[in-house]
Amino acid sequence: MLRYLIIFVAVTNFFATGMYVVNPGPQYPPTKGEVWPKPQYEKKEDKYFTHNSSFIITPTNYTCDILNKAIERYAFTVRALHNMARRSRKNKPHRHRQVRGAPTTEKYEEVHRTHALQKMEIVLTSPCEELPHLNMDESYSLTIDRISILRSESVWGALRGLETWSQLFYLTDNYTQLRINKTHIMDYPRYKHRGLLLDTSRHYISVSNILKTLNAMAMNKLNVFHWHIVDDQSFPYQSEKFPNLSALGAYHSSMIYTHEDIQKIIAYATERGIRVLPEFDVPGHTRSWGVAYPDILTKCYDKKNVIGLGPMNPINNATYTMLGQLFEEIQEWFPDKYLHVGGDEVELNCWKSNPELQDYMAKHNVSAYQLHAIFMQNVIPLLQNKSLPIVWQEVFDEGVPLSSDTIIQVWKNQWVNTMVKILEAGHRLIFSASWYLDHIKSGGDWTDFYIADPRLMVYNATGNDSLLDNIIGGEACMWGEVVDDANVINRVWPRSSAVAERLWSASLAASYRARKDALTDARHRLEEHTCRMNRRGIAAQPPNGPSACVTHIHQ
């Protein structure tokens, strides 16, 4: 209450004097023990418990390596906070502000014994699945008491529940206690495809930073790592069937992803309930392929002069032969049921300039747009029955016949009309148009991502809720032109956290006042969550304005 009174006085002073009075402290004081993304149902009581080193987590019914490793990870995470409190109690009392109602250091042990957590039981009611998938069950319930219970029908729900459990812990203002309130949560995701696209072609992103990205995704309950692994600028995927693609097309021999790297990333993601969705974008965005195999690309002409290489050659049988063999290898290495084959931003003017393609289009009475459709019609069957395709929206826009299993990713302007057309045609879609992380306004631009909701957009445009279930989710997209290992983590986080909450949590209320209140609440919660990520080794940038985050307390 005092904080809001100070703000009121500051605003009053501005109108009276023309000056703002800036007070010390964070612009948006962080919450304590609030979960991100916000659970579907949560009831929290004033009663709290403390954590001690004797606390145990016990799986019942079913268990497996994925669950056991997760228990070990999250127990370590909470112990790290516990150790911060322990170190703080050893420091001199004057170094911390005393919290009203908090016990003194001398009384800590007595209170700690009285209110300490004893254990948490994880009740997994079905056997573990080996791999995350589009339709996996991520629901869970969690009750925090002296003996806490986490219940889920799947190992994936248990992972999400463990993440929630770890976020409910908080340090008191003087950092001497680690607390968790008595709480009951019932939770599940609103959308089942909740992704992050990472471009590793424009700049190579190290395996270690990809693993950090996966850790952050798990903290935000994102479940799809869309790996845009190759593009025009470089080809860092090291193929065993076509080794020259990376030998000649990568920036450097140290900037490639080997089979072992890919296995490591997939295993790491799987342990966190995250699918790895590879994208090999064709026929455009393929210039790096042509360093080793120029014949599969189209020569672009200015009048009679060749000025460079453009998209893949759509009438060259060698193009399809090579793609078929490469896709077969990709399907062996990447276990997910879906494979993204791109189809966006094809340089049609290059095709139009090529004499060979001019003759073909004239002979068959087709346009360059139709040539693109022909190419995709030839490429998608190369997946055979091993994978289902995901494509960018241009493939739908240009009338390519697509099976009902094909998922379409929407990213361009006028996206609401496009979504309606896709849904009315009976296709499922994932949405990205409002969530391009390379579009930067200023600090705090996460709020634009936070209010974008594809189902709400379609419903407001049509009033028809029967279409909404086929909007299966969305992705934040981190294109790599101006991010590399030095800044990719703090460019993505916590801005992607806004997308994560929109894809997991309940929709925002319709009224202006309710949405404004929700944003204010989110600002405070995101301050806590950003500090939480930094404490776990994710170098997330400040979300709002002036703030502070204590990540270490020394002995």
Burial of 64 (0-12, 13-18, 19+ CB in 10 A): middle
- What is the Cα 485 distance to its own chain's centre? 17
User: What's the token pair of residue 83?
Assistant: 């150790």
Contact indicator for 180, 209 with CB cutoff of 8 Å: no
H or E segment at 39? Answer: none
Q: What is the 3-state secondary structure (H, E, C) of 224-291?
A: EEEEECCCCCCCCECCCCCCHHHHHHCCCCCCCECHHHHHHHHHHHHCCCCEEEEEEEECCCCHHHHH
* 116-153: burial string, b at 16+ Cβ within 10 Å, e else: ebeebbbbbeeebbeebebebbbbbbbbbeeebbbbbe
Residue 345 annotated in active site: yes
How far apart (Å, rounded) are the C-alpha atoms in residues 142 and 507?
A: 22
Nearest to 495 by CA among 535, 442, 532: 442
475 strand-pairing partners: 195
Contact indicator for 444, 424 with CB cutoff of 8 Å: no
| End-to-end C-alpha distance for the chain, whole angstroms | 35
Measured CA angle at 340 (ends 334, 345), to 5 deg: 145
User: Phi, psi at residue 478, to the nearest 5°?
Assistant: -105, 90
User: Phi, psi at residue 461, to the nearest 5°?
Assistant: -80, -30
User: Phi, psi at residue 95, to the nearest 5°?
Assistant: -80, -10
Nearest to 140 by CA among 157, 121, 164, 165: 157
**211 three-state secondary structure:** helix
User: What's the token pair of residue 194?
Assistant: 């909740």
Q: Check 45, 121, 345, 394 and give the catalytic one.
A: 345
User: Which sequence positions are flagged as catalytic?
Assistant: 345
